Structure 1
Amino acid sequence: MMEGLELRHHTAEQAAGLIERLVELYLTVYADGGEFHNEDRYRRQLAGHMQRDGWDVVTAPIDGELVGYIYGFPLPAETRWWGGIHEPIPAGFTNEDGKRTFAISELMVAPDWRRRGIAKSLHDELLAGRTEERATLLAEPDNASAQAAYRSWGWQKITALRPGWEHAPTYDVMVKQISPNR
């Protein structure tokens, strides 16, 4: 892990005071992200996700500056996460019980801090000790560096999905086995 990097877990309650910093970094990372990556939509997404049981965010501050974060939550039995998924998919792929799948919703590192292992450290910290069978995330198909990183970390593309948000792009659905104990 990088010198000066201190990864910190926060529950939704603990993260309430960090919302402005989380949104600010999001807007920096997605400065050229088009209509979908706007402040209002992200604030609504973040507020909704923070209400999920088991929501967890890991932040990466260096000398008081937030340089990255990752967050996710277990998918409940009645999830909308899989809405917009493209067929074909393996039988039972979207079946959830609240304990099967941990969904990573965001992973971002400030542009000036990339390529230093921060994203991998955040990823590994968030998934360490998870008891779900698998994790999932949605990756932009044209983000070659993120796609390469995810593959090197053991993620596999399963299909594509277009979320129900207005102006949402189509993403690659990626899955990683994380707990063989289920």
Structure 2
Amino acid sequence: MILQEIEEERGGMEMHYTSLLEEDLLDAAELYCRAFTGEGFSNEEKESALRNIQKDTTYEGYTGMKATDQDGRLAGFAYGYKSLPGQFYRGKLEEQMTQDQADFWLNDCFEFVELAVDLSYKRRGVGSSLHDKLFEVVRNSTAVLTTSISNISAVSLYEKKRWKIIKDHAPVISSRNLQVIMGRESPSKAIHQDKQAAAVPSVHKGGVAGRW
């Protein structure tokens, strides 16, 4: 359980950050539709979004975070779950990676599935805070996400938060909707990798061992 945290975002706006729970999912589905479809979304689109989110919450390692404003209105949410063999999207990611990439990124992996912010709170720091607070409680060694190649602002945000591009223009689901696959190491894993690299001596052309 994520305890409630209160932060003041840009413009003096106060936001409350707590766990995304079952009773929040209908509001989350409506927000998802507004954010990605627009205000004119249909009941069918809302019901489809709700089914998808509900299904995702049943996966092992599900972790979700929501942001609510001073009036209790949902301003955004973020969630993911543990990536495991046999999951549909896990299989799609494996198809796009080399074996070495899959071994590194998917062995103990949190799949960052969704980050959605209400249009009225865009560019006010809510998405950034949701990301950070979610990953404060994620304990997997790595995380992966996919986003559209046209979503330049999202890629830029993630790169600022230590995500790396694993593969660009990847037809994860369809060649008509190319994706960027990104990965993020946990701070402890990144430190371990740096220490390992520092411990391996490099060899100059003259045969003298040492770091260049």
Pick the TM interval, shorter chain.
Answer: 0.7 to 0.9
Secondary structure, aligned partner of 1:77: coil
Structure with greater helix share of residues:
2
Q: Which residue in the other structure is 1:76 paired with?
A: 84
Q: Which residue in the other structure is 1:31 paired with?
A: 37
Shift of 1:145: 1.1
Shift of 1:59: 0.3
In the alignment, which of 46, 53, 56 is matched to residue 49 of structure 1? 56
CA gap 1:118/1:174 in 2 versus in 1, 3 angstroms: same
Shift of 1:168: 8.0
In the alignment, which of 101, 111, 117 is matched to residue 93 of structure 1? 101
Is the CA contact 1:131–1:179 (under 8 Å) kept in the aligned structure 2?
A: no
Provide, for residues 67-86 of structure 1, a one-character-per-residue CA deviation record: whole Å limited to 9, x for no partner. Answer: 10001111123332233348
Is the CA contact 1:134–1:177 (under 8 Å) kept in the aligned structure 2?
A: yes
Distance in 2 between residues matched to 1:151 and 1:76, nearest whole Å: 25
In the alignment, which of 9, 14, 24 is matched to residue 4 of structure 1? 14
Distance in 2 between residues matched to 1:87 and 1:18, nearest whole Å: 34
Distance in 2 between residues matched to 1:163 and 1:156, nearest whole Å: 20
Q: 1:6 is aligned with what amino acid? A: H
1:138 equivalenced with 2:146 (yes/no): yes
Q: Which residue in the other structure is 1:102 paired with?
A: 110
CA gap 1:161/1:39 in 2 versus in 1, 3 angstroms: farther
Is the CA contact 1:23–1:42 (under 8 Å) kept in the aligned structure 2?
A: yes
Q: Which residue in the other structure is 1:177 paired with?
A: 185
Number of corresponding residues: 173
TM-score normalised per structure 1: 0.81
TM-score normalised per structure 2: 0.71
Is the CA contact 2:147–2:181 (under 8 Å) kept in the aligned structure 1?
A: yes
Instruction: Give aligned-pair identity as a percent.
Output: 20
In the alignment, which of 161, 172, 195 is matched to residue 162 of structure 1? 172
Distance in 2 between residues matched to 1:106 and 1:168, nearest whole Å: 21
CA gap 1:162/1:87 in 2 versus in 1, 3 angstroms: closer
Distance in 1 between residues matched to 2:101 and 2:158, nearest whole Å: 20
Long gaps (5+) in structure 1 = none
Q: Which residue in the other structure is 1:18 paired with?
A: 24
1:149 equivalenced with 2:157 (yes/no): yes
Distance in 2 between residues matched to 1:79 and 1:23, nearest whole Å: 22
CA gap 1:88/1:51 in 2 versus in 1, 3 angstroms: closer
Secondary structure, aligned partner of 1:116: coil
